[in-house]
Structure 1
Amino acid sequence: MSKSNTFVDREDLNQALEVLKAGGLLLYPTDTIWGIGCDATNAEAVEKIYALKERASEKSMIVLLWNDNQLASYVNEVPEVAYELIEASDRSMTIVYSNAKNLAKNALASDGSIGIRVAKHPFCEQLLQRFRKPIISTSANVSGASSPRNFSEISEEIKAGVDYIVKFGQEDVAEREPSIVLKLDPSGKFEFLRK
């Protein structure tokens, strides 16, 4: 049964939600590359991602939100320019904010900052809306290996290490790129970390 790129299967969505609620790991498509995800407020779930990726825990994670109105729930001071940058960008953009709050401590950088992206993707948007919490999004690869640009490039090791693999988007062979990353300080000054 072929599905259009925007139709999200309810059963696929429900299974992904159940895994998130249970503290499990998801392999899922995003507006950029495929990601490994979990509840961004659950430190034990975040720890499982570090273990699967064999990644040093000093490296912070990225979290996804479905709406920029949620930023104030997870960042102490959101500079006004953040909303303008999100709206103006025609590419997926992750913004690193200082002084994160209400997220798992082990998801944050050692200085308390966190990268946040408002996801513009049919599956992510519905998942985030229904879950009502931010979701970790980190590239679906072991640390040091190249990031998979589509589902077919994801290693068996990663697939075997998650609790659920989302069906949506697996046939999409378009090669995707990671997001732009910029660091924004509370004064509103920003610099690009990755273009």
Structure 2
Amino acid sequence: MAIKPRWADAEAIQEAAQLLRQGRLVAFPTETVYGLGADASNAEAVAGIFAAKSRPADHPLIVHLADAAMMPGWAEEIPDMAWQLAERFWPGPLAMVLRKKASVPLAVTGGQDTVALRVPNHPVALQLLRAFGGGLAAPSANRFCRISPTQAAHVAEELGDAVAMILDGGACQVGVESTIVDLSGPQPRLLRPGQISVAALEAVLRQPLVLPEAVASEIRAPGMMAVHYAPQTVALLCPVEQLQARAQTLLADGQRLGVLAYAQTLPAHPHLQVLAMPATADGYAQALYASLRELDGWQLDRILVEQPPQTEAWRAVNDRLGKATLAVA
């Protein structure tokens, strides 16, 4: 049975902090998606995250902090560029991978010698972190590889009573997970794109980022699986020029079809559900997971996603769609 989300007032936040101190799991909102939080210094509590999500133990988690001043408690080596990025983008949707302190449980880091840190930009998350007084390991509050939650109700649907409390702070404003930059090696590397662009990061770093397509794939951070963020309904990413014909073919075969439409309009059909997506990258990102989840709940046979623009501004959206869908042959 799903527990009912509780509005995140001061009393609820204090209760949530106490539950976290007891080693329990608490879901809470960030500006990106809802996180499934546990005391990052408590390996047993962190193990509860993996059990609730059915997440492989070798997949690292992001530790959420109340402010940048807490970084030395978690990272052994903090280069100047990390402080510069923190000053520019924290609180905000940026996680940085750094060499971890020996005291950081390997359960948090997936057995690696690095740890991902971020300061979220959401009032509820920050109030909870301050009330708790430590770091919270918090991946997205959903089953492993499924659609990330951007509303408290999504967490309840996804995790049921696997959490002790769900703090409701409204809909997430960014809607896709944070940008992740690896600063643990000789060159800064982009591990996962997000709202913060490559250009904005490079302006602070004053050097180019090594991009994901330039390095071999490895699970250095969350969200690096080839399949992730996916609905249970088979979803196909469809080029703009093929959308109408592909939809007509599927409907002619008697399939119930859902479409995330970016620019195209489709004629009405009794077996067709169309959700029109925002025309801006930020607006699309904010609506993406809720829209996929809505279509997934309609018991369709297929979902078609119209390919958004393949430009730098849309890098994060296209990254998530590339992992949530299959490409149309």
TM-score band w.r.t. shorter chain: 0.7 to 0.9
Provide the identity percentage: 28
| 1:125-150 deviations in Å (ceiling 9; x for gaps) | 12111211100111111112121233
The 5 A counterparts of 1:28-47 are 28-47=28-47
- Cα distance in 2 for partners of 1:94, 1:173 equals 17
Query: Which of the pair has more CA radius of gyration?
Result: 2
SS of 1:59's partner is: coil
Between the two proteins, the alignment pairs up a number of residues equal to 186
- Cα distance in 2 for partners of 1:21, 1:79 equals 31
State the one-letter code of the partner of 2:175: R
Between 1:103-112 and 1:50-59, the stretch displaced more is 103-112
State the one-letter code of the partner of 1:21: R
- Cα distance in 2 for partners of 1:130, 1:137 equals 16
- Cα distance in 2 for partners of 1:89, 1:95 equals 11
Instruction: Give the 4+ runs in structure 1 shifted more than 4 A.
Output: none
Q: In 1, are the aligned partners of 2:100 and 2:114 still within 8 Å (CA)?
A: yes
- Cα distance in 1 for partners of 2:9, 2:156 equals 24
SS of 1:110's partner is: coil
Q: In 2, are the aligned partners of 1:140 and 1:158 still within 8 Å (CA)?
A: yes
State the one-letter code of the partner of 2:106: K
Q: CA deviation at 1:18?
A: 1.2
Between 1:150-159 and 1:36-45, the stretch displaced more is 150-159
SS of 2:41's partner is: coil
- Cα distance in 1 for partners of 2:172, 2:184 equals 37
Residue ranges of structure 2 left out of the alignment (5+ in a row): 1-6, 194-329
Match 1:193 to one of 191, 203, 223: 191
Residue ranges of structure 1 left out of the alignment (5+ in a row): 1-6
Q: CA deviation at 1:120?
A: 2.0
- What is the aligned partner in structure 2 of residue 70 from structure 1? 70
- What is the aligned partner in structure 1 of residue 129 from structure 2? 128
Between 1:78-87 and 1:92-101, the stretch displaced more is 92-101
TM-aligned CA distance change 1:154 to 1:112, over 3 Å = same
The 5 A counterparts of 1:1-195 are 9-89=9-89, 92-154=93-155, 156-167=157-168, 169=169, 171-172=170-171, 174=173, 176-185=175-184, 189-195=187-193
SS of 2:138's partner is: strand
Q: In 2, are the aligned partners of 1:150 and 1:174 still within 8 Å (CA)?
A: no
Q: Normalising by structure 1, what TM-score?
A: 0.87
- Cα distance in 2 for partners of 1:186, 1:78 equals 11
- What is the aligned partner in structure 2 of residue 4 from structure 1? none
TM-aligned CA distance change 1:153 to 1:175, over 3 Å = farther
RMSD over equivalenced CA pairs, Å: 2.0
TM-aligned CA distance change 1:177 to 1:157, over 3 Å = closer
Q: In 2, are the aligned partners of 1:27 and 1:159 still within 8 Å (CA)?
A: no
| 1:31-77 deviations in Å (ceiling 9; x for gaps) | 21001001000111101110111011000111100111111111111
- Cα distance in 2 for partners of 1:45, 1:55 equals 14
